[in-house]
Chain A
């Protein structure tokens, strides 16, 4: 399976990733509504992208009281079933990287890797976001 990786040394802080992601996730541009983040540190010496890595041991998935979060068998992507989601916020609290957000219908929402070809990677001109191969995840 593949997962996203963000590199601080290459990130320019342009936030094009946040723009394309928000447009897909929220139906319009606003970096605050994206499914990843870019932090600024130390007078902007550093821009640090923070992305959902489809954890091997996903706290969000384990915390969901109604099993609305599951891992797709083929791709390994951790997905939220919006029909099942009861908007309790357990997954949002569980993710220490705050990679889960509320969508505009009030459901939990997270990175789904754009069905395998992430827009954020496509529009990352400096190459700071990469789709990399992860070791096989044991079935859980």
Chain B
């Protein structure tokens, strides 16, 4: 069993995105998701200028978005939640505001083995 941090840093998730084999934007977004777990956040918000994560409505982390990615970060984050069944157990998009995301578990255990080749 692996934890979420190990899953993220392993890069095991890359197989969900065969069309983006070396996407720095995906690396960054998985790093953001990892920070939610690390910082005990319960909410992530995407604004035009930043990612902001909070715990009990108090900001515990931010990252300013100086440069937009292609595809855009927000579209990629929604794609992660569509494709990655591990991340789906941890993070969900708000039903009414797709710029807002809720952490639904403090952490998760991952069954999938990490490829030895990584």
Decide whether A and B are members of one complex.
no
